[in-house]
Amino acid sequence: MAEFIFYLTYNDTTIWNALDVFKQIKDTAVANVGFKDVGLGFERLKELREEITKTGKKTFLEVVTVNRETNILSAKMAVKLEVDCLMGSLPECIEPTMRILEGTGIEFFPYIGKIVGHPCQLRGSIEEIVDQGKQAGEKGVDGVDLLAYRYDGDVDRLMSTVISSLRVPVIVAGSINSLERVRKVSRLGAWGFTVGTAVLDRVMVPGGALSDQIDAVLRECSNN
């Protein structure tokens, strides 16, 4: 079963009322909760991380800034926040980020492929993306962050090729906006996937509460 990571984010930005929203879903069975490196300041992210940790859930920080300097700053912020997992550093920042994370116990899932814009988009050939994933694995990362549904090519072939070719876990992140996509990602063998905007927009269960959206995604995972 793929791991569902609920992100308290909208269009790649941590929502201003993330703590209030978390309190609405904290009693659901979702085990992983994340936020981005943009949208809230450090002190509010720290408070959010602490509240998530109190419930026993695993915390994720995803980097959505697309230059080396901010990637490094976000890695340092992940250490200060004491999150459980850092996602989304640029491929060229893997080695310096690993040095920053060394000894902290923070898991690391960097992006693979060429990342552009905000919300982040994925570019490059499937062959190039797979090759970057293999290189990342050889460097000792815990897994990779694949923006499959932000890709401008054959998304299905991208996901199936990357997941089957790499020896490290793959998190499919970004624009998973339907239960059909949840099913597909799970069946292809992704280690995990992220959903944020679609839950906040209540598209999984039209008219349902936030907790209903979370429960629907979890049920879909357990059925695959």
Q: What is the pLDDT along the chain (224 residues), one digit of tens a residue?
A: 899 999 999 999 999 999 999 999 999 999 999 999 999 999 999 999 999 999 999 999 999 988 999 999 999 999 999 999 999 999 999 999 999 999 999 999 999 999 999 899 999 999 999 999 999 999 999 999 999 999 999 999 999 999 999 999 999 999 999 999 999 999 999 999 999 999 999 999 999 999 999 999 999 988 87
Which residue type sits at 74?
A: S
The CA distance from 74 to 157, in Å, is 31
Residue given tokens 């990779």 in the structure block: 144
| Token pair of 105 as six digits | 């116990």
Which residue type sits at 10?
A: Y
Alpha-carbon 41 to chain mean position: 19
The CA distance from 133 to 57, in Å, is 27
Instruction: Go through the domains of the chain in sequence order and give each one's CATH number.
Output: 3-222 (3.20.20.60)
Asked if 74 and 89 count as a contact pair (C-beta separation under 8 A), the reply is: yes
pLDDT score of 33: 98
* CA angle in degrees (0–180, nearest 5) for 51-197-202: 95
Whether the full predicted model's pTM is greater than 0.75, yes or no, is yes
